[in-house]
Structure 1
Amino acid sequence: MRILVVSAMFPPNVLGGAEISAFNLSSWLQKQGHEIGVLTAAKSPSEEKFGEIVDGMKIWSIYMPRPYPIFAQGAVEQKYLKPIWHLQDHLDPRNRSTVAKVLEEFRPDFCNVHYLTGIGHNVLSELGKRDIPVMYVMPDLALSCVRLTMFRDGKTCERQCSPCKASAAFKRSDFRSVRRIGFCAPSRANLERNARFQALDAYPTAHILNANKYPAPSVTRTASATVRFIYVGRLHAAKGVDMLIQAADMIHDLDYSLTIVGGGAEEETLRQKYGHRPRIEFTGHVPLQEAINRIAGSDVLCIPSIWLENSPGVVIQALGMGVPVIGSEVGGIPELVQHDETGLLVAPGDIAAWSSALKLLVVDRERLNKFQRNATSRANEFDQDFIGKRYAAFMDRIVNFGGRPAQ
C-alpha cells in the first residue's frame, strides 16, 4: 500500500516517544514493501520539504500557520497566545488545504495518524472526503484533553473541563467524518480512558505496544557494590522526579547512586534544589545512544510518574536489556512491569512507599538479581516484527471495516 503517516513531530525533530514510535512503525512498514509518505510540521520556513526523499520516505515538512511552532509548546511565556494556537489547531481551514495538497500529490491508500496536534485535527475531514482508511494511534489523551494528559494541578482529571469538552466534541465530529477509522493505543489504560470520553465502541480498537527497535547498548553492565538507580525522561512536574529524589534522600545512609537523565521545564529547579547531593547526578539531555548506554550500565530504572503514562518506551528499553523497573502503579506502567517479578509497582506520589521500594532493592541484592533475570526473559515480547505484524493485521481490519452504524 501507499501509506501516509501524519505526525506533527517526526525524527530528526524529537521531543518525546510518540514521534520515535511513529518513525519506527513507518520504517518497519517500509521494510515490508509499503511506500511511505510523511506529513510533519517544520520548525521554521527554511526547513520545509515538499515530497523530498529522506531515508526512502517521501517527506512533506510544512511550517504550519500558528503563533508559534509545536516545538515551542511549554516554552511560550505569552499565555494569551495559547488559546489562539488551539483555535487554529482545531478550526483553521488552512490545515485542511495544506493536507489536501499532500493527499493529491501522494494519493495514499491508507493513513496512519500518530500526532495531529500541530497539524490540525480538522484535517481528518479531508481523509473522509476521499474515503481513505485511517489508523488513529493514541500515544496520549489528546483525543479527550487539550493538554493531552488529563493532568492538572498535580493530579489526574476525573472529568473533562469545559475547554476539553469543547475540544473533544470538535474532534469527535472530525473523526466521525471518516467512514473507515480505527483507534489503537500502546496502553490499554489510555485506550479505555479515551474510549470513556469519546465512545469509541462503535469502531475497531486495539491495544498494541509501540513497534520500536532501539539501538543496542555499546557498553556492558559491570558488577557494582553500589546499587545504581536511573531516571530517563523529561523533567516535568507530572514525571514525579522531585518526589523520587525526596524518596532517595530518605535512605541517604545506604550505598546507592541516582542518575537523572534528561532535560525539560523542571531541570533548572531540580538542579538548584538537589544538584549538590553527592549521590545524585544530573546529565541534562543526552543523545539516544548515550541514554541507552546509561540504562544498560545501571541496575534499576525508576519511573515515578504521577500522571497517566501511556506505554513508556524507556521501560521497554530497560526490560529488554535486563534492567528491572520501579514504576508508579498508574496508566500503562503496570501493563509492562510485573510486580515482584520484573520490578516493583508503587503508589504514585507516595514518597514513603517509594523510599521503601528503593531501600528494598539496595538491601536485598538477591531479589534484585531475580528481577534482572526475569526482565531478560521477557525481551522477546518487545520484538519489533512480532508487534509490527499486529499493527499490519489491525490495518487490514480497518480497511475491511464497513463503517460506524447510522445513529
Structure 2
Amino acid sequence: MRILVLSALYPPDSRGGAENSAANLTRWLAGQGHEMAVLTTAASRDEELHGVEQDGVRIWRLRTPHVYPLREAPHAARWKKPIWHAQDHVDPRNRRAVARVLDAFRPDFVNIHFIQGIGYNALSEIAARHLPTLFVLHDLGLACMRMSMFRKDASCKAQCIGCRASSFYKAGLIRRFERIGFCSPSRANLTALAALFPIGRYPHTSIPNPNFYPLPQGERAPSDRLRLLYVGRLHRSKGVEGLLDVAATLAETQHFSLTIVGDGPEGERLRRRYGDAEWLHFLGHVPESEVGDLMHDADLLCVPSIWRENWPGVAVRALEMGLPVLGSRIGGLPELIDPGVTGDLVEPGDRAAWIEALRRVLVDPAEVARWRRNAEALRGRFDQNRLGERMLAFMATIAGHPVAVQNRAEQALDAG
C-alpha cells in the first residue's frame, strides 16, 4: 500500500510520545514493504521539505498558515491562541495544502496521528477522496482543544463551551468518511473519549503503539543507594513537582538519588527551587538514544502524573527493559503496571500515599529487585512486530479488504 501519515510534529521535531510513535509505525510499515510518506509541519519556510526522501520515507514538512508554528505553542501569547485554533478549524489554506500532498503522493490509505496543527478541516479533503483512514488516538484531541481534558492543575469534569463546539464540528467532519476507524493504545483513553465523542459509530479498538525500544548493552553500574528516575515533560500535569516535594521530605532520613530527564514550562522554576539538592540531578533534554542507558542504570522509574495518561511510552520502554515502574493510578497506567509484581500504583497527587510508597522501597530495596526480576521475565509483551501486525489487520478491516483478509484481521484483534 501507499500510506500517507499525518503527524503535525514528527522527529526530529518532537516533544512527546505521539510523534515518536508515529515515526516508529511509519518505519515499521516501510520495513514491511509499504510505500510511506509523512505530512508534518515546519517552523519556518526555510525548513520546508516537499516530498524529499529520508530513510526510505518521503517527507512533506510544511509551514502552515497558523499565526505561530506548532513548535512555539507552549510559549505563544495567550491572545494568539483563539486565533490559532480558529485557523486550525476553518482556514481553507489547510485543506489546500493537504490536497497538494495527496495529489503528489496519491495514497491508498491515510494514517492520522496528530492533525491539530495541520488543520482539522483538512479531514474534509481526505474524506472527499474516499480514502480509508486510521485515526490513532494518542490523546483526547477530538473532545478537547487542549487535547488532555486537563486545566488549572486538575482534570476537567466536563467539556467547556469551546471544546463542545469544537467537538461537534469535528464529529461532523468524521461523518463525511466512508471508511474510518479509531485505535487507542489504551482502553482507558478509548473509554474516556467514547463518553465525549461518537467513536462508537465506527470501527474502534485498543492496540498498544508498535514501538521499537533497543535494549542497552553491557552490565548495569553498581550503586550503594536506590536510583530513582523521572523521564518526561516538566509540566504541571505530569506531577513532577509533587514527586520532588515527596523526595525532598524523604531525603531528610533516606539515602537515594533522583534523576530528572526532560524539560518544559516548569523546568526553570523547579530547578531554581530544588536544583542544589545533593540527591537530585536535572539533566534537561536528553537524546532519545541516551534515555535507554539512563534507564539501564536506574532502579525505579517514577511516573507521578495527575492527568489521564493515555499510554506513556516511557513506562512501556522501562518495563520492556526490566525497569520497574511506580506510577499514578490513572489513565492507561493501570493497564501497564501489575501492582506488587512489576511495580506499584499510587493515587495521583496523594502526597502521603507517595511518601509511603517510596519509603517502603527505600527501606526494603529487595522489593524493587523482585519487581525487576518479574519485569525482565515479561519482556516481549510489547513486541513491535506482533503489535504492528495487529495494526495492519485493523487497517485491513477499515479498508474493507476481501472477507478472507477481514477474518484474519478479526483473529489478530481477538488474539490481542
TM superposition score normalised by structure 2? 0.95
The equivalent residue for 2:409 is none
* 8 Å contact kept, 1:227–1:256: yes
CA distance in 2, matches of 1:401, 1:68: 41
Indicate conservation of the 8 Å contact 2:43/2:71, yes or no. Answer: yes
CA contact (8 A) 2:228 2:256 kept: yes
Question: 2: CA distance between counterparts of 1:220 and 1:383?
Answer: 23
Quote the offset at 1:215 in angstroms: 3.1
Mapping of residues 276-315 of structure 1, within 5 Å: 276-315=276-315
Check the 8 A contact 2:186/2:335 in 1, yes or no: yes
In the alignment, does 2:152 pair up with 1:153? yes
Task: Please state how far the C-alpha of 1:199 moved relative to its aligned partner.
Answer: 1.6
Matches within 5 A, 1:2-401: 2-76=2-76, 78-218=77-217, 220-252=219-251, 253-400=253-400
- Counterpart contact for 1:8–1:119, Cα < 8 Å: yes
Structure 2 contact 230–261 (Cα < 8 Å) conserved: yes
State how far apart, in whole Å, the 1-side matches of 2:71 and 2:219 are. Answer: 35
Contact 2:22-2:113 within 8 A present in 1 as well: yes
1:108–1:370 CA distance, 2 compared to 1 (3 A): same
Output the CA distance in 1 between the equivalents of 2:342 and 2:261: 22
Q: What is the distance in 1 between the residues matched to 2:127 and 2:213?
A: 34
Q: Could you report, residue by residue, the CA deviation over 1:360-396 in whole angstroms, capped at 9, with x for unpaired residues?
A: 1111122111100111122211110011011001101
The CA deviation at 1:219 is 5.1
- Conserved? CA contact 2:228–2:298, under 8 Å: yes
Query: Shift in Å at residue 218 of structure 1?
Result: 4.5
What SS does structure 1 have at the residue aligned with 2:380? helix
SS at match of 1:146: coil
How far 1:222 sits from its partner (Å)? 2.7
CA distance 1:219–1:167, shift in 2 (3 Å): farther
Aligned residues: 401
Percent identity between the two aligned chains: 48
Give the distance between the partners of 2:364 and 2:312, measured in 1 at CA.
Answer: 26
How far apart are the structure 2 equivalents of 1:202 and 1:302? 37
Alpha-carbon distance in 1 for matches of 2:280, 2:145: 35
Distance 2:336 2:260 in 1: 21
Inter-partner Cα distance in structure 2 for 1:394 and 1:356: 43
Higher relative contact order (CA 8 A, sep 6+): 1
- Between stretches 302-311 and 188-197, larger displacement belongs to 188-197
1:279-314: CA deviation from partner (whole Å, max 9, x where unpaired): 111111111122221111100000000001110110
CA–CA distance in 1 between the matches of 2:217 and 2:49? 34
Whether contact under 8 Å (1:49, 1:62) holds in the other structure is yes
Residue in 2 that maps onto 1:405 = none
Aligned residue identity for 1:215: P
Deviation at 1:70?
0.3
CA contact (8 A) 1:180 1:401 kept: no
TM-score by length of 1: 0.97
Shift of 1:401: 8.5
Distance 1:340-1:352 versus aligned 2 partners, 3 A rule:
same
Q: Secondary structure, in 3 states, of the residue corresponding to 1:379?
A: coil
Letter in 2 for 1:242: E
Task: Flag structure 1 segments of 5+ consecutive residues without an equivalent.
Answer: 403-407
Q: Which amino acid aligns with 2:156?
A: C
SS at match of 1:198: coil
**SS of the counterpart of 1:344?**
strand
**Aligned AA for 2:158?**
R
Say if 1:219 and 1:293, in contact at 8 Å, map to a contact too. no
Partners in 2 of 1:215 and 1:287 — Cα distance?
A: 14
Q: Summarize deviations over 1:263-294 as a string: whole Å, max 9, x none.
A: 11001100111112111111111111222211
Q: CA deviation at 1:54?
A: 0.8
- Unmatched tracts of structure 2, length 5 or more: 403-416
Instruction: Return 295-304 or 282-291, whichever deviates more.
Output: 282-291
Please say if residues 171 and 198 of structure 2, whose CA atoms lie closer than 8 Å, have aligned partners that are also in contact.
Answer: no
Deviations along 1:40-78, one digit per CA (max 9) or x if unpaired, are 1011100111111111111111110011100001111x2
Deviations 1:24-45 (A, max 9, x none): 0011111111100111101110
Q: CA deviation at 1:217?
A: 2.1
> Could you say what the CA RMSD is over the residues aligned between the two structures, in angstroms?
1.2
Deviates most, 172-181 or 361-370: 361-370
